[in-house]
Amino acid sequence: MADRTLAVDKLLDEAQIIVCCGAGGVGKTTTAAALALRAAERGRTVCVLTIDPARRLAQSMGLTELDNTPRAVKGVAAAKGGHLDAMMLDMKRTFDEIVLTHSDPERAKQILANPFYVSLSSSFAGTQEYMAMEKLGQLKAEGRWDLIVVDTPPSRSALDFLDAPQRLGRFLDGRMIRILLAPAKAGGRAYLKVFTVGVKMFTDVLTKILGAQALKDLSLFVASLETMFGGFRERADQTYQLLKEPGTSFVVVAVPERDALREAAYFVERLESERMPLAGLVLNRVHTSPANGLSVGRSVAAAEGLESAGEQPIAAAVLRVHAERMALATRDARRAKQFSSAHPGVKVVNVAAQAGDVHDLAGLRKIGSELAGTS
């Protein structure tokens, strides 16, 4: 049994990057924050990059300013010489910074003001994933931290997070962009006199769907971004490589519900096929009982006996409470076992269902010790 348990402290002491991923609503952000806090209190210099933390958790970590820079978290035990910084990703600002770094001031100004850019940088479904990876690359390059813990965006599917950066990179660097560039280079007005039949058809269709004005806007936007294209693909590739390096570990987060476990299974399989280093599965919100020797059946029978005799109402009610909890615990254990049977090589650690949401460092610390199996 022991070798099936994810050794969290060893991971926290050795990893350089930990990526937490999983379906929405499974506690990714809390898990990432708890891991980062524990690593810092074990003596490492840590940065946690969160995407969309709940308000009160963000406040407790001092994440009140959206300035896209890691800030020291107050209240972290520093006895072992560790340190914790936290930041919340500002997707648009990260994109703006790339533009500013890679183009001269005049051109940067044009790009930042283009309505197409504004839309792409603030609402494209893959931009958040791309920028999370971009930011991770930047933080890593700064070299200030022993460990960076990343929380991934609440994707439609957990896999988006692996694909979106490359998709955006591919688009920005792709054939379609070159076609769109051609008319702008030729002077804007001439853009329907393009070269081959295929390209002509392509622009015709785009004109029909989008309207001529939109196509012109897009074309100009693409032209003004041109200087940066090569860079995009390269950066997406670099970050992807970073994820494959030995110091990187993926932690898949789930809860014992069918959908979340199915998503976790996809992710585990995908990581394996991409040869990405999977540390293991964190199973949040697992119901357990401190009296698991008393089964659902015996508990219900005992409660029924008392109820029909009309005696001991408190004991009868408490037995009902226990039966409900044991039923949930049994269900959760069954689902966890189904996952483990299908993925016997994946190490797992359970975190018990908490009474309420976690919104302070004490709560994160408690989760951290549960993760490490020391609570």
Which residues inside 220-239 make contact with other proteins, applying CB under 8 A? Answer: none
Of residues 69 and 157, the one with the C-beta less far from other proteins: 157
- Residues paired with residue 349 on neighbouring β-strands, in sequence order: 282
CB of 187 to other proteins, least distance (A): 22
Q: Which of 8, 15, 76, 260 binds other proteins (CB under 8 A)?
A: 260
Q: Which of 38, 42, 83, 325 binds other proteins (CB under 8 A)?
A: 325
CB of 14 to other proteins, least distance (A): 31
Between CA 348 and CA 267 the distance in angstroms is: 14
Identify which range of 41-49, 91-99, 103-111, 291-299 contacts other proteins by CB under 8 A: 291-299
Q: Which of 104, 258, 310, 341 binds other proteins (CB under 8 A)?
A: 258
Q: Measured between alpha carbons, how far is residue 156 from residues 6, 32, 164, 269, 368 in Å?
A: 27, 19, 11, 18, 27
Considering only residues 108-127, where is the footprint of other proteins by CB under 8 A? 115-116, 118-120, 123-126
Amino acid at 345: G
For the residues of 152-213, what is the DSSP string, one character each? Answer: PP--SSTTHHHHHHHHHHHHHTSHHHHHHHHHHHTTSTTTTS-SSHHHHHHHHHHHHHH-HH
CB of 217 to other proteins, least distance (A): 8
Considering only residues 167-226, where is the footprint of other proteins by CB under 8 A? 167-168, 171, 174-176, 179, 198-199, 201-202, 205-206, 208-214
Of residues 71 and 167, the one with the C-beta less far from other proteins: 167
Between CA 52 and CA 90 the distance in angstroms is: 10
Q: Which of 105, 187, 290, 310 binds other proteins (CB under 8 A)?
A: 290
Sign of the C-alpha dihedral computed for residues 157, 158, 159 and 165 taken in this order? positive
DSSP reduced 3-state for 120: helix
As a dihedral over the C-alpha atoms of residue 27, residue 33, residue 35, residue 39, rounded to 10 degrees, the angle is 180
* Residue 343 near residue 265, CB atoms below 8 Å: yes
Which residues does 355 contact at the CB level (< 8 Å), separation at least 6? none
Identify which range of 2-10, 40-48, 131-139, 301-309 contacts other proteins by CB under 8 A: 301-309
Of residues 67 and 311, the one with the C-beta less far from other proteins: 311
Quote the DSSP letter at residue 353.
Answer: P
Considering only residues 76-95, where is the footprint of other proteins by CB under 8 A? none
Between CA 170 and CA 95 the distance in angstroms is: 16
Give yes or no for residue 362 binding other proteins (CB under 8 A).
no
Identify which range of 51-59, 78-86, 91-99, 236-244 contacts other proteins by CB under 8 A: 51-59
Considering only residues 126-155, where is the footprint of other proteins by CB under 8 A? 126, 154
